[in-house]
Structure 1
Amino acid sequence: MNKNLVALAISSVFLTACNNTDTKEIEVIKEVEVIKEVAPTPVTTVKNVILMIGDGMGPQQVGLLEEYARRAPNSTYNNKGNITALSKLANAGQMGLSLNAPHGANGMLVTDSACSATQLATGKAAGSEMIGLDDQGYIVETILEKAKKAGKATGLVSDTRITHATPAAFAAHQPHRSLEAEIAAEMISSGMVDVMLSGGARVFVPADISTDEADRQIMADLGAPTSVYKKSKRKDDRNLIVEAKDQHGYTLAFDKTQMQNSDATKLLGLFANSGMADGIAYKACRAADTCSQPSLKEMTVKALDILAKDEDGFFLMIEGGQIDWAGHANDAGWMLNELLKFDEAVEAVYDWVKDRNDTLVVVTADHETGSFGFSYSRKELPQARTLDGDGMKGADYKPNFNFGALSHLDKLYGQTGTFFDMMNAANSDWDFAAATAQNWMDAVNQYSLYKVDIDQASKIGEREINEYYVADHSYQSAEMVPSFADFKEFYVYADEDHTAKIGRALAADQNVVWGTGTHTAAPVPVYAFGPDGVTRGFSTMQHHVEISQKMMTALGLTYAE
């Protein structure tokens, strides 16, 4: 019984009693005491916490998803009441916003995934590109590690790589996010994570895996397809997959069938050599029923099935990581498909938790990527139309600008390959100095429902001397880079940024604008679902360190101030 019902019941008792005050006084008092006794104590702690991170999913990205779901003429949500799983969480729970920049003595304005995830994992200020360290470089125990020490089961799920910045920050402690080989070794040996489902096998297999037949046979005997172990990013001969199985008790899975058939309570699933299938590839294989990799939703369901067996509860982090990759690429069609893939996983979590009172679900983003937005323009100005409304007074309806047609939503969804697929088609060796305007035009028009002409295509391939050249830098050691007429300083990934040139070629027809090839400092949405006594505190403007602290408090864990 909630507070309003208690008050109503008390009022009705007194109204009934007022006509018989001499004989009913004692009965009234007794009835009030009974009502007080049955009024439930607010739930302020839970057994389970599920944190879902849409990497790069700022408010603009959420807007793209919601517009598609609600108003695309051929929305895939038309048979679901045009409501996203995110909206279901919002309607039944709480919403807030969260700042995410690096805090502390080394504070900056803009975060990266490693810093942001570390702050979400530890409740402490962190520095850029650090994994599981505070802003001074000290190791900080994460919420996952605290949960494990408290006897709870733990899990990490991602559609990128299990050693990528976001999942790594919950279960490893390294000075830089690029140390994925070291992160892999730490995650396996620590024993802190019961379920790990993702891609990234390349840092688990020996350095010579592509040539050593004995090593390759070991992987084949374990049931791994060659696509999983085709190359290595290690510099030694350690096979962490074998170590995980033989020394640390993990059951292994390398495809969807193996994962779904496993009844293990300790499971390592590595489904790709690097990142898992993108949202557009997933859409295609799902339609043809040919998917060999599990989807983000399927990995989420499996993780929940395993972790829920622990009577003490669990902590689970689920990342939709390729929303960010699409944002970096300035690829709106790919990004929409990634948002849909993520929302599928949110739907699975919502279905699992909707009737429970022992679980907190928090959905947020680490940051926004790309400074994306729909925008109105002066291209293809609308034609005048006659409207029937009596307020028009004989005037035509003729807006001054092109505010964007709803058909864009369907056309973005219908894109059949990412901008990286287009780059591969333009030159499979990525020798873009040799790629012609015709190559670029054919490549873009092969995959996009928006078409470019030869002049637009020629601009995609324009290159220039890198005026920010730095020897030995992971990206700025490139002598030639794509040429940008605007904001060139914010396109930092050398040849990869030809994707943003494609984005610019298509932008005017899509009514889409992009401001950067990196991240922005925009506050990101926070959805909280669970007992009201737990979720109410998320309905505010906060910072990611506070989100972490609130989740720890909900689990009954302590955190360092």
Structure 2
Amino acid sequence: MDRRKFFKAGTLAGVGAALLNPLQGFAHPIENEINYKNKKAKNIIVLVSDGMSSGTLNMANIYSERILGRTTNWIQAYKDNIISRGLMDMASASSIVTDSAAASSSWGSGERVKNGVINISVNGEQLLPIWQKFKKAGKKAGCVTTVPITHATPAGFTVSMKSRNDQSAIAEEYLNIGYDVLMGGGNKYFDAETRKDKKDMYAAFSQKDYNIAKSKSDLKKIDYSKPILGVFGEDSLPYAIDRKNSKELTNEYPTLAEMTQIAIDAMKSHKNGFVLQVESGKVDWAAHANDVAGLIHDQLQFDDAVKVALDFAKADGNTLVIITTDHGNANPGIIYGKYADEHFDSIQKYNQTNESLLNKIKSDTTEKDLIDFIHSNLGFTVTKEQADHLLDYYKGLYKDDDGLYNYKKLPFKSFAEIQKEYNSVGWISMDHSADYVEIAMFGPGQQNQKPFMKNTDLHYFMLAAAEVENKF
């Protein structure tokens, strides 16, 4: 299909009839559909729980209802029938199993690209990302994430790169393009001391009149009249559960919801509107580590950001909120058994991630000390055999190279297998899966969502919802 003829052909030929017949192609009846007939989206907020398998969404809601006494905002919106819902095929140009770069680029460019590249076509053509299109149309644009702001998902909305790994160059591209809000981790890609080329990107952003924030306290003093660069942490922000259980981390690092609110407040008064991408990137990292506490609590952190976006959209009336994920990862689930309920409920006793806990074990830790340490932090008692097996990794008898972000070669897989006996949560792998992913919408345009769409369709859906022609 000629993308330039997208509006003439009708936006929802693959996605629905956006401007011609707003009632065609409902996933199911929506109570507030009448409010959005023939109304364009002045603002668009795209929320991405990176690497969220359906089991992750499910487990976070079960945990929230059973332990916290409330339904998650995402599931409550389904129950209240206020948002449309469908599935999306996220395959890349090189595989039915996508990576985050190709997934985000499919939304960013409207084309499927190979895994590992950002908005570069299979023929090597540089494709114009959607946030640049919206910038050219006069809107403000921003990205917020819990992993480096230069990571694959925000980059897929914003830049074109031959390699997702060139994060130092991505930082420079952000400055050249002039995005309005950038918040996440990744100090090592901005600080002259840690960049290979020794460029001081903070100084460069300051020279272009950016407000620089490096802590939660800095954000409280931020000036909304200037563009914002917020970089928190050397690499990523802490996992939600680790921050929650540390006064120091709580005071130092903002939550995803706090960053989302600041991004909205900074751009909401712009006369031409804004576009914002919000990512809970460490849901994916926790799935790669088969880390159930990290996974559930970062998904709940994402859900808090969903509430911020939905609350704004409900009050504003001109904002399309899109809630989705870029791919599955590890496909976790609660396993049937006599003690499944109480085993799963025991996760409330976990006070840190597996990453945090495993990093504290040393080669000279004794069997008894390890058993006591795990019990005091996670609430269950491993056997002597299980303790000895874990300690063997620290004595160099085994190696565990599993988990994409397992730089210290921690025994993530073995520990998750041990935990399964006590929490009844199983995993199929430690990597991405070819799931059809959840996608939900609220606001102008939601009435045009089809029950099933291709990842590239979302690019044109957003342009159509905002009535921005694809002419750039």
The TM-score with structure 2 as length reference comes to 0.85
Q: Does 1:362 align with 2:348?
A: no
Determine the structure 1 residue equivalent to 2:167: 180
Determine the structure 2 residue equivalent to 1:418: 353
Q: Is the 8 A contact 1:144 1:315 kept in 2?
A: yes
Shift of 1:178: 1.3
Alignment of 1:66-465 (within 5 A): 66-70=61-65, 72=66, 75-76=67-68, 78=69, 82-90=70-78, 91-103=81-93, 107-191=94-178, 193-206=179-192, 209=193, 232=194, 234-246=195-207, 248-264=208-224, 265-285=226-246, 290-377=250-337, 402=338, 404-405=340-341, 407-427=342-362, 441=371, 443-461=373-391
Task: Report the Cα distance in structure 2 between the residues aligned to 1:84 and 1:460, rounded to whole angstroms.
Answer: 35
Determine the structure 2 residue equivalent to 1:222: none
RMSD: 2.7
Alignment of 1:479-494 (within 5 A): 481-482=399-400
Shift of 1:445: 3.4
What secondary structure sits across from 1:355 in the alignment?
helix
Q: Is the 8 A contact 2:48 2:324 kept in 1?
A: yes
Alignment of 1:21-100 (within 5 A): 42-70=37-65, 72=66, 75-76=67-68, 78=69, 82-90=70-78, 91-100=81-90
Task: Report the Cα distance in structure 1 between the residues aligned to 2:381 and 2:295, rounded to whole angstroms.
Answer: 19
Q: Structure 1 residues 444-453 or 514-523, which shifts more?
A: 444-453
What amino acid does structure 2 have at the position aligned with 1:425? K
Greater relative CO, 1 or 2 (CA 8 Å, sep 6+):
2
- Picking from 500, 522, 525, the partner of 2:413 is 500
Task: Please give the per-residue CA displacement for 1:434-474, whole angstroms capped at 9, x wherever unaligned.
Answer: 7775675455334212331221123335569xxxxxxxxxx
What secondary structure sits across from 1:426 in the alignment?
coil
Task: Report the Cα distance in structure 2 between the residues aligned to 1:441 and 1:479, rounded to whole angstroms.
Answer: 19
Shift of 1:173: 1.6
What secondary structure sits across from 1:451 in the alignment?
coil
Long gaps (5+) in structure 1: 1-38, 210-231, 378-401, 465-477
Long gaps (5+) in structure 2: 1-33
- Shift of the 497–551 alpha-carbon distance from structure 1 to 2, 3 Å rule, reads farther
Determine the structure 2 residue equivalent to 1:536: 447
Task: Report the Cα distance in structure 2 between the residues aligned to 1:156 and 1:350, rounded to whole angstroms.
Answer: 17
Q: Is the 8 A contact 1:123 1:559 kept in 2?
A: no
- Shift of the 501–495 alpha-carbon distance from structure 1 to 2, 3 Å rule, reads farther
Task: Report the Cα distance in structure 1 between the residues aligned to 2:388 and 2:276, rounded to whole angstroms.
Answer: 47
Determine the structure 1 residue equivalent to 2:14: none
Shift of 1:252: 0.9
- Shift of the 255–494 alpha-carbon distance from structure 1 to 2, 3 Å rule, reads closer
Task: Report the Cα distance in structure 1 between the residues aligned to 2:266 and 2:252, rounded to whole angstroms.
Answer: 21
Determine the structure 2 residue equivalent to 1:216: none
What amino acid does structure 2 have at the position aligned with 1:94? S
Tell me how many residue pairs correspond in the alignment.
435
Shift of 1:539: 4.0
What amino acid does structure 2 have at the position aligned with 1:453? T
Task: Report the Cα distance in structure 2 between the residues aligned to 1:443 and 1:129, rounded to whole angstroms.
Answer: 40
- Shift of the 242–88 alpha-carbon distance from structure 1 to 2, 3 Å rule, reads same
Task: Report the Cα distance in structure 1 between the residues aligned to 2:51 and 2:367, rounded to whole angstroms.
Answer: 31
Shift of 1:138: 1.9
- Shift of the 455–108 alpha-carbon distance from structure 1 to 2, 3 Å rule, reads same
Task: Please give the per-residue CA displacement for 1:212-232, whole angstroms capped at 9, x wherever unaligned.
Answer: xxxxxxxxxxxxxxxxxxxx2
Shift of 1:121: 1.6
Percent identity of equivalent pairs? 26
Shift of 1:303: 0.3
The TM-score with structure 1 as length reference comes to 0.72
